[in-house]
Chains A and B, each alone.
Chain A
Amino acid sequence: MKKTFFRFAVVGTALILVLAISGCTKKPEQAKNVEVTMFQLKVEIKDAIDAYAASYSAAHPGVTVKVESLGGGGDYGGALKAKAQAGQMPDIIQIEGLGGYKIWQEYIADLSNQPWVKDTDLALKVDGKVVGFPVAIEGYGLAYNAEILAKAGIDPASLTTRAAYEKALSTLNAKKKELGINAPVAMAASVAGGMWWVAAQHNLACYWGGGLAFDDTSIIEKALKGELDDARFQQYAKYLQLLFKYADQNILLNGSYDDQVGSFAQGKTAFLHQGNWVDPNLQQLGVSFKIGYAPHAFLDTEEKGLYLFAPSWYCVNAKSPNAEAAKAFLASMAGTQEGHDYMVNKAGMIPAFKSVTLKPAGQLSQALMAANARGGNYGVFFGMLPDGAGQNLFGPIFDLFAQNQNDLPRFINDMKKAVADLPKM
């Protein structure tokens, strides 16, 4: 009996060892075929980028580009951390600013010598080094439904000061029935709807950069030291209060992205506080009316610019053996006709490269391109804030102000306290 048992034990151990060893030995990799993996967070361009990667792989024997997309509601940062911990760090990753750079800097390659660097103003630079490939230009103002404004007798070109907005919004509000709208503005500020970023990130960006030179970061740098510019913030808060007051209250306090964009697309609101990324949504919803962008003019003085920025950048994993192939893939995206066609026509983005001559189809994207050509636009700097500041610190403050719209001093006071806490974050 004892013998039988030991035989079992020996055979068992041997089996485990064999399994363990065979698990460890890898097949020798074929040196010729390089597989570049890319992990990106714009789910809305998934099909376009998959198709482009496939055609690039077909045109370049020996290189296969594989793209994985996770974003929207998905936790891209968490998934990327899991990949890094598992030793499966992708060759190309996407970051959303300096905050992301600080986290991933051990991995991020220097791209200063790439051919596309001269062709763009929006590459991500750290200490004079180029580290990020701008994915696109995005931007926003206050989108308007030109038909409703025309019916109400409002000239969108006149909307360049807060006073002009006040007049236009109260006119629209008075003619609500006649125009068939629920409220003048589709604005969202709710934590519950996951829309804190519209108010606490994009609208607040007006305070950080509005009315200043495109690369003037003085206001946000002051905030990072814990100070608010009182006179300027007072004007900004009044503008925000105006938008809140004339917004569809259900959308403002509880609406989702779909509620907000949907109400504008159905002509139930005259203004929409969103960027050019809503173009595909508006197209899907069958919008046929003319749309344009008015500036977020919150100052007492005149403002005419829109807010333009590169929302994210591709970075190459410096530790990967495939880094060169990854760089070549990005360079071809920026430098070839196929790449331009992918970015503009397939993915519907506005490329950040000056050599691109194609025009995007979306009305808001066209408005942005026109503004970009005209100049005098403002920078968007919320990416310089510490991680989580928008969602956890400013988000609840804006939500609470939306609930208590008349309490302006309280809002200003809350923001003052929150900004004072910024250096500690």
Chain B
Amino acid sequence: MKRSTLVNILFLAPCVFAFIMNIIIPFGFGLYYSMTDWNGVKTSANFVGMRNFAGLFSSPDFIYSFLITIFYTAINIVLVNAVSFALSLIVTSKFRFRNFLRAGFFIPYLIGGIVLGYIWQFILNNAIVAIGNSLSIGFLKSSLLGKPNTVIWIMSLVNTWQYSGYIMLIYVAAIQGIPASLMEAAEVDGAGYFSRTFKILVPMMANAFTISLFLTLTTSFKQFDMNFTLTNGGPATRFMDTPIKASQLLAMNIFNTATANRMAEAQAKAVVLFVALVLVALFQVAYNKKKEVEL
């Protein structure tokens, strides 16, 4: 017994060591630097308490980034999950090309966010505008990325295009894990397609919803790469009577603060992002867990 404890500790040690060095210590440093005036280079940093945090919630660009990130996350959760659930239903039906489609829907996920952002930027700024011009369709004549009111929706669409194939796979796995006898029994009892789907399939795969919602929530909240290449935060819009960037999500706001050599302030924003994300994610997982059914 004693020996196995020692062995356990030894086997765990590399992992714990890596975890402490890579996660715990940098996290502590991050918290510390968010309360200093460090600029990223100076060898000394002065402790300034909560000053960096105090200014955040009175600066229009940060409040806007915070709100627009929540809005973006909300539409993303709905869009991505609705689309990927629909896709998973298609590719688990007796449809002839289902294996081909499974691979096809998954491919966008394999394209990196940076590349994908540039490709869609070209499509939206050039290809669609050219189509709009040649067919004289008014609202397509200028880029959809140039309109402050539509840009978040466009970003969400692009994200859905990229991400729903991945979430679809999770749903497919869950659907395949449901005993076929259950569905057959329901069919024999005269349940139609929709009642079978929503009364049996959906409750049975509630754990897949928990994980999918969690994944879409966290990735949307932390969205950066596609935001950076697709819109770069633009166009500008007016918020609290101050011109700010209409599609600057929280992660990009942090990045832009950091690149302007305001490292400590950026760190404070990152701490706020962390706390917000943890709170929302905990709430979401706790809520979804309640809905899961034990088989």
Count residues of chain B with CB under 8 A from any CB of chain A: 37
Q: Tell whether A399 pairs with B236 under 8 Å between CB atoms, given A81-B40, A103-B40.
A: yes
Q: Which residue of A lies closest to B143 (CB)?
A: A254
What residues of chain B lie closer than 8 Å to A250, measured between beta carbons? 129, 142-143
| Interface 1/0 per residue, B242-278 and A, CB below 8 Å | 1111010000000011111110000000000000000
Q: Determine whether the beta carbon of A387 is less than 8 Å from that of B236.
A: no
Q: Tell whether A103 pairs with B243 under 8 Å between CB atoms, given A190-B234, A191-B234, A193-B234.
A: no
Instruction: Kindly specify which of A34-42, A43-51, A358-366, A389-397 makes contact with the partner chain.
Output: A389-397
What residues of chain A lie closer than 8 Å to B247, measured between beta carbons? 192
Q: Determine whether the beta carbon of B260 is less than 8 Å from that of A387.
A: yes
SS of B interface (majority): mixed
Q: Determine whether the beta carbon of B125 is less than 8 Å from that of A254.
A: yes
| Interface 1/0 per residue, A43-82 and B, CB below 8 Å | 0000000000000000000000000000000010110010
Looking at the complex, which one of B10, B43, B231, B236 makes contact with A396 (CB distance below 8 Å)? B236
Instruction: Answer yes or no: A285 CB below 8 A from chain B CBs.
Output: no
Mark out the residues of chain A between 1 and 55 whose CB falls within 8 Å of any chain B CB in the assembled complex. 1-2, 5, 9
Q: Determine whether the beta carbon of B232 is less than 8 Å from that of A396.
A: no
Q: Determine whether the beta carbon of B262 is less than 8 Å from that of A253.
A: no
Assembled-state Cα–Cα distance A193/B39 (Å): 28
Q: Determine whether the beta carbon of A400 is less than 8 Å from that of B237.
A: yes
What residues of chain B lie closer than 8 Å to A75, measured between beta carbons? 259
Q: Determine whether the beta carbon of B146 is less than 8 Å from that of A391.
A: no
What residues of chain A lie closer than 8 Å to B243, measured between beta carbons? 396-397, 399-400, 414
What residues of chain A lie closer than 8 Å to B245, measured between beta carbons? 191, 395-396, 399
Instruction: Answer yes or no: B238 CB below 8 A from chain A CBs.
Output: yes
Q: Determine whether the beta carbon of B236 is less than 8 Å from that of A5.
A: no
A71: min CB distance to chain B, Å: 13
Instruction: Answer yes or no: A104 CB below 8 A from chain B CBs.
Output: yes
Which one of A77, A191, A192, A255 has the greatest number of beta carbons of chain B within 10 Å? A192
Instruction: Answer yes or no: B286 CB below 8 A from chain A CBs.
Output: no
Q: Which residue of B lies closest to A252 (CB)?
A: B146
Assembled-state Cα–Cα distance A249/B143 (Å): 11
Assembled-state Cα–Cα distance A250/B3 (Å): 73
Q: Determine whether the beta carbon of A396 is less than 8 Å from that of B260.
A: no
Instruction: Answer yes or no: B18 CB below 8 A from chain A CBs.
Output: no
What residues of chain B lie closer than 8 Å to A388, measured between beta carbons? 256-257, 259-262
Looking at the complex, which one of A78, A84, A254, A417 makes contact with B146 (CB distance below 8 Å)? A254
B175: min CB distance to chain A, Å: 40
What residues of chain B lie closer than 8 Å to A400, measured between beta carbons? 235-238, 243
B153: min CB distance to chain A, Å: 15
Instruction: Answer yes or no: A106 CB below 8 A from chain B CBs.
Output: yes
What residues of chain A lie closer than 8 Å to B295, measured between beta carbons? none
Assembled-state Cα–Cα distance A412/B131 (Å): 37
| Interface 1/0 per residue, B1-31 and A, CB below 8 Å | 0010011001000000000000000000000
Instruction: Answer yes or no: A99 CB below 8 A from chain B CBs.
Output: yes
Q: Which residue of B lies closest to A80 (CB)?
A: B41
Which one of B43, B142, B243 has the greatest number of beta carbons of chain A within 10 Å? B243
Mark out the residues of chain B between 48 and 72 whose CB falls within 8 Å of any chain A CB in the assembled complex. 61
Q: Determine whether the beta carbon of A387 is less than 8 Å from that of B261.
A: yes
Q: Tell whether A391 pairs with B3 under 8 Å between CB atoms, given A103-B40, A253-B142.
A: no
Q: Tell whether A254 pairs with B259 under 8 Å between CB atoms, given A103-B40, A103-B41.
A: no
What residues of chain B lie closer than 8 Å to A387, measured between beta carbons? 260-262
Looking at the complex, which one of B39, B244, B257 makes contact with A103 (CB distance below 8 Å)? B39
Assembled-state Cα–Cα distance A141/B61 (Å): 33
Q: Tell whether A193 pairs with B256 under 8 Å between CB atoms, given A103-B39, A104-B41, A400-B238.
A: no
Q: Tell whether A191 pairs with B232 under 8 Å between CB atoms, given A106-B42, A400-B243, A414-B243.
A: yes
Assembled-state Cα–Cα distance A388/B255 (Å): 11
Looking at the complex, which one of B39, B41, B142, B261 makes contact with A249 (CB distance below 8 Å)? B142
The 8 lowest CB-CB distance pairs between A and B, nearest first, are A388-B260, A192-B234, A191-B234, A399-B236, A396-B236, A396-B243, A400-B236, A400-B243
Starting from the known contacts A250-B129, A254-B234, A387-B261, 18 additional A-B residue pairs (CB-CB under 8 Å) come to: A9-B10, A78-B259, A104-B41, A190-B234, A191-B232, A191-B235, A191-B236, A192-B231, A250-B143, A253-B146, A387-B260, A391-B256, A396-B237, A396-B243, A396-B244, A400-B243, A403-B146, A417-B242
Q: What are 11 A-B interface contacts by the 8 Å CB criterion?
A: A190-B235, A191-B232, A192-B233, A253-B143, A253-B146, A254-B142, A391-B256, A396-B237, A396-B244, A398-B236, A414-B242
Binding site for B on A (CB under 8 A): 1-2, 5, 9, 75, 77-78, 81, 84, 99, 103-104, 106, 190-194, 249-250, 253-255, 387-388, 391-392, 395-400, 403, 414, 417
